[in-house]
């Protein structure tokens, strides 16, 4: 190898402990979302065969379900988008997107969001990598709910992540969900009158029994 | 006043995809990231990421039985042996993914994450005898046109290969072997040989 004469002599782990985000000792740091440098990273194991397995011991609180579906909303309404192994999927800034059983709302961010499903190997389950730009200035994250029947915007809360800091996103998320779930009027479509299902967090340990049922349903 | 027909307004793009198994080997320059991805079949020289630091070159181990995901911080020179023979420095983070699959390894380089970047990119070489930087040249990347930097680097590679003086380390005097650009289809005999060298 051309550069072998000038390789750093120290073991890589000593120089950069987290040189591989998928290392079994490092990966747990990305169970939620973790800002590192210019991006925010999330890594999810696809550990559940079905949504019935939530809450099983030794499974992570953000683990995914193999049978999940992914959706985006555009000018033609709700569209299902594939998550094919080794396909880099870039959700453009401003696109409402939702993943079944993973988070019970539509996430709308001001940064592009890259999602890469990796297939299982002999030693690791399938994983989903999420990479999105670190918001700055007035750039926001939003959690929103659209009517299941007519796709009208029913309820939305906005967090100015760029100014308030990413560390406040999860408390914001939980507060928005509690507000939405706490009053049926928030969930009632102003256009067609449908009362929409409850929302739920990206972390399943926060689920109330009713929210756990919602997680299994949508 | 001209009336605007709503049907003339293009619908916003929701998302797009790029396959890590796509053999096209071109960069996707779209949205807030510049993305390259591609496979390397068994039997071909595997791509290998090098990451520079003050006291030498860090070889980033290849994925073996599971994928590897490595972040290259903004401002850190990196090179992917057999993919491009020069070193790149950009003013924004880069993510390297090496995912083994049934038909060999699949790779991705994802450059971006901060608004308006990459705004500046540098092409340089690292001396294989003393790890000193050599023949560096910076390029102001036009907004969302990272490919222009790659064209610029291609020109630098030609110059580098043509001029022994440019390939001579100013610190230790060692002569760097010929190099190669990003696009293998543009290789001459010298670049092709350099790309395949172990």
CB distance A134–B114 less than 8 Å?
yes
In order of their start, the domains of chain A are 18-217 (2.60.120)
Backbone dihedral region for residue A176 (phi beyond 0: left; psi -120 to 50: alpha; all else: beta): alpha
First to last CA, chain A: 52
Residue of B60, B113, B124, B197 to mutate when probing chain A, most A C-beta within 10 A: B113
Using a CB–CB cutoff of 8 Å, tell me whether A80 touches chain B: no
- Structure token pair of residue A60: 């992570």
pLDDT of amino acid A108:
97
Out of A38-52, A172-186, B93-107, the most confident range is A172-186
Torsion of CA B90, B120, B155, B22, to 10 degrees: 50
Query: Chain centroid to CA B192: how far?
Result: 17
- Residue-wise pLDDT tens digits, B128-146: 999 999 999 999 987 778 8
pLDDT in tens, B47-76: 999 999 888 999 999 888 889 999 999 999
Q: What is the pLDDT of residues B31-49, one digit of tens each?
A: 899 999 999 877 778 899 9
Task: Provide mean pLDDT across the span B102-113.
Answer: 91
Q: Are B18 and A88 in contact (CB under 8 A)?
A: yes
Contact B20, B97 (CB under 8 A): yes
- Nearest alpha carbon to residue B94 among B113, B61, B78, B72: B72
Q: What is the structure's pLDDT at B26?
A: 79
Write down the number of H helices and E strands in chain A.
Answer: 4, 12
Cα separation values, A209 from A55, A198, B1, Å: 11, 11, 58
Look over chain A and give the mean of its residue pLDDT values, rounded to a whole number: 92
pLDDT at A169: 96
Nearest Cα neighbor of B35 from A205, A9, A114, A127 is A114
B143/A contact by beta carbon, under 8 A: no
B21/B41 Cα distance (integer angstroms): 10
Report the residue from A9, A37, A76 with minimal CB separation from B74. A37
- What confidence tens digit (pLDDT) does each residue in B168-194 have? 999 999 999 999 999 989 999 999 999
Residue A130 is predicted with a pLDDT of 96
| Cα atoms in the 13 Å half-sphere on the side-chain side of A194 | 14
Task: Give me the pLDDT at residue A200, please.
Answer: 96
pLDDT digits (tens, 9 = 90+) for B78-95: 999 999 999 999 999 999
Within chain A, strands assigned E span: 34-36, 39-48, 64-65, 70-74, 77-81, 87-91, 97-99, 106-109, 113-118, 127-133, 141-146, 153-159
Q: How confident is the model at residue B101 (pLDDT cuts 50, 70, 90)?
A: confident
Higher pLDDT, A189 or B116: A189
**A129: contact with B, CB 8 A cutoff:** yes
User: Could you give the angle at the alpha carbon of A96 between the alpha carbons of B98 and B71, nearest 5°?
Assistant: 25
Q: What are phi and psi of A79, to 5 degrees?
A: -125, 140
Cβ atoms of A108 and B14 within 8 Å: the answer is no
């Amino acid at each position: 190898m051309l550069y072998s004469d000038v390789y750093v002599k120290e073991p890589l782990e000593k120089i950069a402990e987290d040189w591989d985000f998928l290392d079994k000792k490092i990966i747990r740091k990305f169970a939620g979302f973790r800002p590192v440098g210019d991006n925010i990273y999330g890594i999810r194991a696809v550990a559940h065969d079905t949504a019935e397995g939530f809450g099983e011991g030794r499974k992570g609180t953000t683990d995914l379900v193999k049978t999940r579906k992914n959706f985006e909303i555009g000018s033609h309404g709700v569209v299902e988008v594939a998550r094919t192994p080794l396909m880099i999927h870039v959700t453009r800034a401003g696109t409402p997107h939702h993943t079944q059983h993973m988070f019970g709302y539509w996430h709308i961010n001001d940064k592009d969001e890259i999602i890469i499903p990796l297939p299982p190997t002999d030693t690791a389950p399938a994983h989903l990598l999420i990479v999105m730009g670190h918001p700055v200035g007035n750039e926001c994250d939003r959690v929103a709910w659209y009517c299941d029947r007519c796709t009208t915007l029913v309820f939305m809360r906005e967090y100015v992540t760029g100014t308030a800091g990413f560390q406040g996103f999860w408390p914001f998320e939980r507060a928005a969900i509690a507000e939405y779930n706490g009053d049926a009027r928030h969930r009632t479509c102003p256009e067609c009158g449908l009362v929409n299902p409850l929302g739920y967090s990206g972390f399943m340990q926060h689920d109330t029994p009713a929210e756990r049922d919602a997680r299994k349903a949508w | 006043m001209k009336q605007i027909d709503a049907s003339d307004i293009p619908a916003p793009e929701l998302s797009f995809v790029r396959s890590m198994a796509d053999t096209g080997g071109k960069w996707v320059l779209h949205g807030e990231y510049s993305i390259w991805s591609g496979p390397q079949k068994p039997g071909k020289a595997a791509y290998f990421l090098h990451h520079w630091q003050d006291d030498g070159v860090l070889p980033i181990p290849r994925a073996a039985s599971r994928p590897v995901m490595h972040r290259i911080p903004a401002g850190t020179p990196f090179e992917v042996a057999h993919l491009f023979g020069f070193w790149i420095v950009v003013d924004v983070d880069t993510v390297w993914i090496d995912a083994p699959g049934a038909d060999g390894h699949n790779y991705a380089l994802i450059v971006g994450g901060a608004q308006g970047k990459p705004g500046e990119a540098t092409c340089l070489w690292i001396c294989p005898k003393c790890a000193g930087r050599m023949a560096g040249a910076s390029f102001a990347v036009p907004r969302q046109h990272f490919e222009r930097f790659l064209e610029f680097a291609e020109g630098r590679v030609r110059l580098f290969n043509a001029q022994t003086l440019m390939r001579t380390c100013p610190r230790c005097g060692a002569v760097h072997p010929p190099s190669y650009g990003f696009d293998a289809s543009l290789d001459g005999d010298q670049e092709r040989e350099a790309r395949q060298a172990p």
